[in-house]
Copies of this chain bind each other. A is one copy, B any other.
Amino acid sequence: MPETTRRADRLPGTRYGNRPTMKDVAARAGVGLKTVSRVVNGEPGVTPDTERRVQEAIDALGFRRNDSARVLRKGRTASIGLVLEDLADPFYGPLSRAVEEVARAHGALLINGSSAEDPEREQELALALCARRVDGLVVIPAGDDHRYLEPEIRAGVATVFVDRPAGRIDADVVLSDNFGGARDGVAHLIAHGHRRIGFIGDMPRIHTAAERLRGYRAAMEDAGIAVEERWMSLGATNPERVRRAAEDMLAGPGPVTAVFTGNNRVTVTVIRVLAEQSRRVALVGFDDIELADLLQPGVTVVAQDSAALGRTAAERLFRQLDGTLVAPERIELPTRLITRGSGELPPAD
């Protein structure tokens, strides 16, 4: 099969396996080094005939410009970094994709990494990206102290935080209205007659979790309901703990008649638990989930627009790079209550 390449063809040994450089192209085309550079970059000042000869040499040698050298010379990498929690989480896919699209529109590549919710790993990753001299950084914080980025920001790395605010530095932040969204969601349950309402969320050291908890408390207080300690479960990170927490608050005397869940992962687990109950328990979840409308009953959620979060953050980042922006700002995007049935169930004591 003459039309294929076998790996055995590859030149062994030397670095990059003897990749041709502009010098090689110049020699082959019989022109100067800079002339090749001009052709490659589409700069003016090359006669059509010379350009053709250079182009032929490029094609013949399979030359490809070395962007590392280019970056070293020019000082801009045309790439931005994205540090997020977990790409496998359905919440971050669209966000990442939105950031990528904006980057692409600005001719930049996106490098991303997952912090796995570990502050140390977040720092390690962010600094590795800075060492590559990304032009900017979009960070979904795992930690709560970002002073380690001070030298980078001072050195000109555009930085925007998303989903959670930065810790101890003054920087651009784009978030959802976690407090308001949670308060509205819980108020919705109260409006449908519930008073014993459970809350299952992430560790309060995570800003979004703390804000949503605050929203829950605010809604309850507004309604004059005293929250009992056992209605709340914080830091339920894995499905087993969420399950136990849900079962606990559904059992015993004075069980909850409704549950507010603090994020999509918790919601999914709680849906399973509720499906096993004989009694109908109301549910409102933070974050939308796919197929929520097809379940019985449909799942009422407080939805945030993760793509909009990413897009807004990335656009702001490039405006920093343009020099258009000066003062860091905190942008809060609204959430949307989507009623589908589960949040409208009446209390079943």
Contact = CB atoms under 8 A, between A and B. Distances in A.
A191 interface: no
A61 B140 CA distance: 27
A90 B5 contact: no
Contacts of A16: 75, 133, 155-156
Contacts of A100: 87, 113-114
Interface stretch (A42-50, A167-175, A278-286): A167-175
Chain B CB within 10 Å — which of A15, A129, A147 has the most?
A15
Chain B CB within 10 Å — which of A18, A87, A110, A268 has the most?
A87
A324 interface: no
Contacts of A76: 15
A68 B64 contact: no
Interface string A149-170: 0111111100000000000111
A105 interface: no
Interface residues of A, number: 81
A251 interface: no
A114 B97 CA distance: 8
Interface in A128-156: 128-133, 147, 150-156
Contacts of A168: 3-4
A251 B272 CA distance: 35
Contacts of A96: 87-88
A97 B87 contact: yes
A348 interface: no
A75 B294 contact: no
Contact of A64 (B69, B151, B153): B151
Interface in A252-287: 268, 271-272, 275
Interface string A321-343: 00000111000000000000000
Nearest to A172: B7
Contacts of A153: 5, 7, 10
A307 to B, nearest CB: 8
A9 interface: yes
A327 B7 CA distance: 7
A101 B281 CA distance: 39
Interface in A49-76: 62, 64-69, 71-72, 74-76
A93 B88 contact: yes
Interface string A93-110: 110110010001000011
A41 interface: no
B294 A272 contact: yes
A244 B8 CA distance: 49
Closest 6 pairs between A and B when the two form their complex, measured CB to CB: A62-B151, A15-B75, A17-B156, A88-B97, A68-B71, A88-B94
25 contacts: A4-B169, A4-B170, A5-B153, A7-B153, A7-B327, A8-B326, A10-B154, A11-B155, A11-B156, A15-B74, A65-B131, A66-B72, A66-B133, A68-B72, A68-B133, A79-B111, A87-B100, A89-B93, A90-B290, A93-B93, A104-B113, A109-B129, A112-B112, A291-B291, A295-B295
